[in-house]
Amino acid sequence: MEVTKVENQRLAIQKKIDKVLCSKEEIESCCPIKDILARFGDKWSIYTILTLGKEEKLRFNELKNQINGVSQRMLTVTLRSLEEDGLVSRQVYPEIPPRVEYSLTPLGQGLLLQLLQLADWAKLNIDQILEARERYAKKEKQAQLT
Amino acid sequence: MEVTKVENQRLAIQKKIDKVLCSKEEIESCCPIKDILARFGDKWSIYTILTLGKEEKLRFNELKNQINGVSQRMLTVTLRSLEEDGLVSRQVYPEIPPRVEYSLTPLGQGLLLQLLQLADWAKLNIDQILEARERYAKKEKQAQLT
DNA sequence: TCACCTAGTAACATGGAAGTAACTAAAGTT
DNA sequence: AACTTTAGTTACTTCCATGTTACTAGGTGA
């Protein structure tokens, strides 16, 4: 009984993977998971989403000051691509000096929740990963000595 | 009552974000979420994990054939970095010709589950994102006409 | 008159990821 | 003697994300 339960779980996972893994033609173009993950492959998108998640509304320079180390250009580029995907909204007030407010859209907030779930897993398991890296480094050293 | 509920939820999220966002010194070195996400920033890691998730054990060339478009070099590089992080295990059988079997470690299987959750969200929301992109492209076009 | 403010853009430099192609070991097959 | 197989490695090139610097408009305050 227990065995079939585990086996069923395994089959369910395989089914899910099949749905996620796209056909050979789609692999470059539309695979949703790949597309979503590409959002975080870059250096600043996560920080931007997390920072906006904390504060509801932020102006350009407020964001820039809260995201440590980001340059003007990279923040602009990051915000544009997030806006393009409908994750961040951009409100321009045509005053002088100009004022622009950025905030997460509902879609962006949904993604934020997913990110936080992943972050929970990451925090729980980061130690195991760091240990694995150390073990690997040691093995490498030994292999080089031969 | 409803208002305070929503407000509490918001505070809980802010707390979580604070924990995820590292201090200024840590931002480059140890931020776990950044570290985990860096695993998928590259082109082939997800496909490798998903493919291994489907099949339990696979040899180098079996993997290469199932992951459409990957070169020998990139598969090697990807597998090494996944092995380094303890997500994939590598079993060498010293025969001739050599045989090497790759499989997910328990850690890697845990990550796979997280990935599949994210994939579910991605599938639910990919249409909204694609719509947003179209809207953005239209806006861009109009702006260029002026 | 001059510097300063915001929210950027333009031009250019750079490093690392990705890709390509050739090469390897060691034994078995023809 | 030459060819095949497996699981890579080495050397080289290409490309893109990232980063740096300078520049902009249009008004404000000294």
Lowest mean pLDDT among B53-57, B114-118, B142-146: B142-146
Using N-to-C axis directions, what is the helix angle for B106-145 and A106-145, rounded to 10°? 130
CA distance B146 to B142: 7
CA distance A136 to B84: 6
pLDDT in tens, A126-141: 999 999 999 999 988 8
pLDDT on residue A145: 66
Residues 66-95 of chain A within 7 A of strand C, judged by CB, are: 72-73, 76, 79-80, 90
pLDDT on residue A30: 64
Q: Which domains does chain A have, with CATH numbers?
A: 2-145 (1.10.10.10)
CB contact under 8 A, B36 and A122: yes
CB contact under 8 A, A17 and B46: no
SS3 B104: strand
DSSP type of residue B83: H
Average model confidence (pLDDT) for chain A?
Answer: 90
Tokens representing residue A144 in the block: 């080089």
pLDDT in tens, A2-39: 788 999 999 999 999 998 887 655 555 567 888 888 88
Closest CA to B90 of B118, B48, B125: B48
The alpha carbon of A71 is separated from its chain's Cα centroid by a whole number of angstroms, namely 20
CB contact under 8 A, A126 and B83: no
Choose the closest CB to B133 out of A18, A34, A84: A84
Kindly determine whether the C-beta of residue B74 is less than 7 Å away from any atom of nucleic acid strand C: yes
CA distance A32 to A22: 9
pLDDT band at B146; cut points 50, 70, 90: low
CA distance A130 to B14: 27
pLDDT on residue A29: 56
Q: How are strands ordered across the β-sheet holding B88-93?
A: B58-59, B99-104, B88-93
DSSP type of residue B23: P
Tokens representing residue A81 in the block: 């691509």
pLDDT in tens, A70-94: 999 999 999 999 999 999 999 999 9
pLDDT on residue B40: 84
pLDDT band at B3; cut points 50, 70, 90: confident
Closest-CA residue of chain B to A20:
B119
pLDDT on residue A108: 97
Residues whose CB is less than 8 angstroms from the CB of residue B115 and which lie 6 or more positions away in sequence, other chains included: A33, B40, B46, B49, B50
pLDDT on residue B99: 96
Enumerate the residues of chain A whose CB falls inside 8 A of the CB of residue B113: 13
CA distance A47 to A39: 11
Q: pLDDT at residue B26 above 60?
A: no
pLDDT on residue B34: 84
pLDDT in tens, A45-79: 999 999 999 999 999 999 999 999 999 999 999 99
pLDDT band at B25; cut points 50, 70, 90: low
Tokens representing residue A36 in the block: 């979503």
Q: pLDDT at residue A97 above 80?
A: yes
pLDDT on residue B35: 85
CA distance A94 to B13: 32
Closest-CA residue of chain B to A113:
B13
DSSP type of residue B18: H
Q: Tell me the CA end-to-end span of chain B in Å, nearest whole number.
A: 50
The arithmetic mean of pLDDT across residues B82-107, rounded, is 96
pLDDT on residue A52: 97
Q: How are strands ordered across the β-sheet holding A58-59?
A: A58-59, A99-104, A88-93
